[in-house]
Amino acid sequence: MLSKVQALERVHSLLGKALVLFVVNALIPPLALLVSARLNLIYRILWPTVIYEVACIASLLAFYMAREALAEYSFRPALKFMTIAGSLGLITGLVAGGVLVLKARSILRRAVASKV
């Protein structure tokens, strides 16, 4: 029982670190648009930036849903949302955010699967 509690604490810790990376990366596209507007380059990067921001918001939404499911001790939905957030996070979480979420997912999966 104690090892499962420690695993959940470790998962929460990893997700807290990953959240910072996800939020910082979600702020990059608006800042890029502000800079490009000053340089009159906004029409060249507008659509790629908007698409990237939508992907960032989708990954943040999946991340939030995973944390909410984890807070309710719904482990199966948490694992599914962590898979989505981790996969998107490899692109939209400065790579390290996605790796942290996938690492937290593997720790949670092992804790749920253990019989102790």
Task: Write the DSSP assignment of 54-111 as a string of letters.
Answer: HHHHHHHHHHHHHHHHHHTT-HHHHHHHHHHHHHHHHHHSTTHHHHHHHHHHHHHHHH
Tens-digit pLDDT string for the chain (116 aa): 668 899 999 999 999 999 999 999 999 999 999 999 989 888 899 999 999 999 999 999 999 999 999 999 999 999 999 999 999 999 887 899 999 999 999 999 999 998 65
pTM: 0.90
The per-residue pLDDT for range 10-27, each reduced to its tens digit, is: 999 999 999 999 999 999
